[in-house]
Amino acid sequence: MSTPEPLVTWRPRLTVRLRMTLSYAGLLVIAGAVVAVVIYGVMRYVPNYPLTAANPRDQTPVPTRGELLDTIVTLSAYALVFLAIVGMAGGWYLAGRMLRPLQEITLAARRAAEGSLDHRIGLTGIKDEFTDLSDTFDEMLDRLQRSFEQYRRFAANASHELRTPHAVMKTMLEVAIADPEHQDVRELARRLQETNQRGIDLVEALLTLASVDNRAVELDPLDLATTARQAVDELRAEAASAGITVTADLEETLVMGNEVLVHQLVTNLGQNGIRHNTGPGGTLSVSTRDHRLVVANTGPVVTPQQAGTLTEPFAKTTGRHTGSHGLGLALVDRIVATHHGRLTLTPNPTGGLTVTAELPAAKL
């Protein structure tokens, strides 16, 4: 047995244009009625007896007060009807002109709701509330379009990166199964472990990136130099094994930050500087001053165009570390944005990169 469809109650739709039209017409009628009442009240003070002309020879009849009042009432009624018609016609026209920008904004919103984010309103003319709304809406569309494009690239790259280690492990296992007698089990296990670890690192980086984007972070006063010193000390072993010389010039500077995320910030920048360096003989310097963290490293030459894309997830350039999944600087960018700071990537003329993370000063 089918369920009967609920009855739909029809309700008249009072558009903004119609309401504005009725408001204009109503104001005109009310204003006319007030004037008529005032005139009617004043005319009541006219003497209530037949008036005669000053010149006795002039026999033109003069109306009485009652006749004048009757004429005023009649003419006022016609005037109010006329004002109502003018108010409706003029109000409809004026309301249409004033609401035309709102119709353009509504059209753009509908196109955006259908998935088209490349349309912009671009209202011109006198700056008013409608142009402010139009500019704000266009800015929102710009941000949405950038976000969706970034999301599409992220989804495509993440799919590829997550598929790669599994495909590699599948190939190694298929080869081992096809010819088990000629396999070095120890070497096979090592390669499988490395590939599996790469997949684990990638998943952890993706989860960390997502958690930073979706978590509310409490910012407290902390010494950037102290946190940076702890992270640098943890990186010295990796730097020594890669032949990278690490120098630190850490000056006390208080910032508003989350200690865990700031530690992750320094760690990621340090690892990026070590793993994408020139190899043995390269250098990595870390400094803190004036609520800024500056990490500079030697390495392959990076163009300004490449530097502008390194904070995107999975962004890679020629000469980057082969085990990199391209999420280190993306996570750094998210951490700095979460702290309402500013991140600057500057290519060094001789190669390598200088990264400056500016965090908000502590409020004491």
pLDDT class for 208, splitting at 50, 70, 90? low
Element (H, E) at 236: helix 224-242
Mean pLDDT of 95-119: 81
Tokens 């009967």 sit at which residue?
A: 4
Taking the C-alpha atoms of residue 261 and residue 163, their distance in angstroms, rounded to an integer, is 29
Q: What is the mean pLDDT of the chain?
A: 80
- For the full predicted model, state whether its pTM sits above 0.75: no
Each residue's pLDDT tens digit, 33-51? 888 888 878 777 766 665 5
Q: In angstroms, how far is CA 352 from the centroid of its own chain?
A: 32
Q: Which residues pair with 343 in a beta bridge?
A: 357
Mean pLDDT of 317-331: 58
pLDDT value for 297: 94
pLDDT class for 157, splitting at 50, 70, 90? low
Instruction: Single out the residue of 333, 337, 294, 297 nearest to residue 312, CA to CA.
Output: 333
Taking the C-alpha atoms of residue 179 and residue 172, their distance in angstroms, rounded to an integer, is 11
Residue, of 65 and 329, whose pLDDT is higher: 329
Residues 276 and 299: beta-carbon distance below 8 Å:
yes
- Which residues have C-beta within 8 Å of that of residue 284, sequence separation ≥ 6? 239, 244, 245, 246, 247, 270, 273, 274, 277, 295, 296, 297, 298
273, amino acid identity: G
Mean pLDDT of 16-30: 83
Q: Is the pLDDT of residue 83 over 50?
A: yes
Residues 154 and 309: beta-carbon distance below 8 Å:
no
Each residue's pLDDT tens digit, 336-357? 888 889 999 999 999 999 999 9
How many CA atoms within 13 Å lie on the side-chain side of 324? 24
